[in-house]
């Protein structure tokens, strides 16, 4: 009886802080993937501007200078082949990557190989290398300017 009375008095005397929690969406925690390649993986063109790592257990795409991976409703991207995956909102994923049917390119064999653009590491005037939308490499030499 005394315990009940003291509990009642504490409830009346102490101010009550309302606790309201509202969430409009469902937040599912998906850990970042642990996908890493020792060297830059070979890539195969699957649609204009979208490449995939062939014969791999997961669908890892390459587009717009990033590697892309989709896991349980969440997109991740990495700048380098050796990791550094970051969660990305759907609006930042290239349309070509989003439109690719899921599950089609796991252990994929086929398509034409993608050749990466050459990186200039010499002296003098560099050669400009462009990759067309169809994955073909086009070499354009800069004209020399005579002052």
Each residue's pLDDT tens digit, 94-113: 999 999 998 999 999 887 88
Each residue's pLDDT tens digit, 112-147: 888 766 655 555 555 566 666 665 666 666 555 555
Residue 90 to residues 63, 94, 95, 112, 138: CA-CA distances in angstroms?
Answer: 14, 9, 9, 28, 32
Which residues make beta-bridge pairs with 113? 44
Check residue 124 and give its pLDDT.
58
Handedness of CA 28, 34, 39, 44 (dihedral sign): negative
Each residue's pLDDT tens digit, 58-73: 999 999 999 999 998 8
Check residue 109 and give its pLDDT.
86
* pLDDT band at 10; cut points 50, 70, 90: very low
Check residue 30 and give its pLDDT.
77
With 0.85 as the threshold, say if the pTM is over it. Answer: no
């Amino acid at each position: 009886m005394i315990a009940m009375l003291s509990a009642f008095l504490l409830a009346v005397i102490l101010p009550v802080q309302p606790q309201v929690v509202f969430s409009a969406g469902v937040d599912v925690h998906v850990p970042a993937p642990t996908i890493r390649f020792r060297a830059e993986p070979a890539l195969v063109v699957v649609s204009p501007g979208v490449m995939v790592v062939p014969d791999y257990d997961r669908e890892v795409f390459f587009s717009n200078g990033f590697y892309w991976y989709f896991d349980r409703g969440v997109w991740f991207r990495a700048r380098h082949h050796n990791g550094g995956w970051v969660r990305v909102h759907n609006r930042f994923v290239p349309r070509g990557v989003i439109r690719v049917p899921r599950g089609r390119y796991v252990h994929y064999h086929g398509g034409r190989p993608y050749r990466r653009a050459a990186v200039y590491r010499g002296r003098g005037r560099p050669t400009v290398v462009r990759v067309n939308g169809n994955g073909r490499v086009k070499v354009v030499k800069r004209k020399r300017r005579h002052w």
